[in-house]
Structure 1
Amino acid sequence: MSGESGVTITPDEDPTLSFETETSGDVEEEAIKSSYKPPPEKTIEEILAADQEDESLRKYKEALLGQAQAGAVIIDANDPRKVIVKKLALCVPNRDDLELDLTGDLSELKKQVFVIREGVQYRIRIDFVVQREIVHGLKYVQKTYRMGVPVDKMTHMVGSYPPKTEIQSYTTPPEDAPSGMLARGSYSVNSVFTDDDKNIHLEWEWCFDIKKDWN
């Protein structure tokens, strides 16, 4: 699999030898992280109070915030998190989505191994709910390993979201699964749903097999 700072596995490459050293993409990413400072968080009231003289902007913000204006949106009073991650789905054109339920025992996820046909194009969708307050700068980070060796890393900026009772979703851009005899085999994935303030809303591990065909 290929990501923002990852590699694409080709038939004449041994994927177990990838990422022996830090790539230039990783260096650039770390440099950005060290210099980037997220904007200060603002409450719903502060956002609505700003730019009141701009009628179109005021209406846009009111429409965007929706339910949050009526008061605190609480989905699960026993869960202190602002973001509750519900599901991961592997989406392939013309096939049913492969889904992982992220609301149960996360240690059981490795038993549900996805089968992916080599070379296929896929997307990953994350379903989540936001409660209590606006969440700023959500990010989805995914690291892929083969036999314990990292072979790919991708980071996707998800964005900022207001609290809502409905499930909200983010779908990654299309990725190509690796292909070739050497690329076939079992992979493990570490996924993290985080934000600009380095709050980890959920971290989980899952697995997939790259095969010549779906069966």
Structure 2
Amino acid sequence: MTDHHDDDLAAQKTEGFKVGEKKTLQEYQELDKDDEAMNRWKASLGLNSGDPIGQPNDPKCVIKSLALVTQGRPDVVIELSTPEAVNSLKDKPFTIKEGAKFHIKVVFQVHHDVLSGLKYIQAVKRKGIRVSKDQEMLGSYAPNTTHKPSYTKEFNEEEAPSGMLARGHYNAVSKFVDDDDHTHLLFEWSFDIAKDW
């Protein structure tokens, strides 16, 4: 995929936030071993439990799926774990009822090393004109282990636009990027806003 989405998907810098000094997983585990507060923080990241599940050649972060969650309806799940699934998305639009309230849920895995400041950025276009851009901070995560084989993050609730003018076909492009400006996944998808599901 070319870089023609760069402007649409530029990450917003967090005000007053400085990227911390990068440490290896072993350095994190050795960090202040006798400090109770530090141990609680490491435990909250999952740094001290289970065996790593990542293989040496696995990418640092694997986005498994994205789901559209609406109360009272089955989740609409977008599989993202294979290149074939990702490449077919823009040709398989799904339908969102106008005015519906929904939120996005993402399932992902982290391998090898602590992942710092993972963000989700999404730009939506209609007839070639950008109509929205959203950014969600997912946070920092330790590598997944047998104790916690994946992470799930639920985003804030959104409401689909409504009215005759809102109905129609939309194209979206999304990416997952970290504090090092490393893009872990960039994909295009599409949806239709309709009068009913």
TM-score class normalised by the smaller sequence: 0.7 to 0.9
Select the structure with the greater relative contact order (CA < 8 A; seq sep ≥ 6).
1
1:180 aligns with 2:163: yes
1:154 aligns with 2:134: yes
CA deviations 1:58-107 (Å, max 9, x no partner) are: 2442453346675xx2434443x210111111111110000111122122
Q: How does 1:93-132 map to 2 (within 5 A)?
A: 93-104=71-82, 105=84, 106-132=86-112
Contact kept, 8 Å, 1:68 with 1:162, in 2: the verdict is no
> TM-score, normalised to structure 2's length?
0.83
Structure 1 residue identity aligned to 2:163: G
Structure with the largest fraction of strand: 2
> TM-score, normalised to structure 1's length?
0.76
Structure with the largest fraction of helix: 1
| Structure exhibiting the larger radius of gyration computed from Cα positions | 1
Tell me the secondary structure at the aligned position of residue 87 of structure 2: helix
Listed as ranges, the gaps of 5+ residues in structure 1 are 1-28
Contact kept, 8 Å, 2:64 with 2:108, in 1: the verdict is yes
Contact kept, 8 Å, 2:103 with 2:157, in 1: the verdict is yes
Contact kept, 8 Å, 2:176 with 2:184, in 1: the verdict is yes
Contact kept, 8 Å, 2:43 with 2:49, in 1: the verdict is no
- Residue 56 of structure 1 and its aligned partner are, at CA, apart by 4.2
Tell me the secondary structure at the aligned position of residue 119 of structure 2: strand
Change (3 A) 1:56 1:196: closer
Tell me the secondary structure at the aligned position of residue 95 of structure 1: coil
Structure 2 residue identity aligned to 1:101: E
Q: How does 1:1-215 map to 2 (within 5 A)?
A: 32=13, 36-62=17-43, 64-66=45-47, 73-79=52-58, 81-104=59-82, 105=84, 106-165=86-145, 166-214=149-197
- Residue 182 of structure 1 and its aligned partner are, at CA, apart by 0.2
Listed as ranges, the gaps of 5+ residues in structure 2 are 1-10
Change (3 A) 1:89 1:60: same
Give the structure 2 partner of residue 5 of structure 1: none
Aligned length: 183
**Hey, what's the Cα distance between the residues in 1 that align with 2:49 and 2:142?**
7
Change (3 A) 1:143 1:77: same
Tell me the secondary structure at the aligned position of residue 201 of structure 1: strand
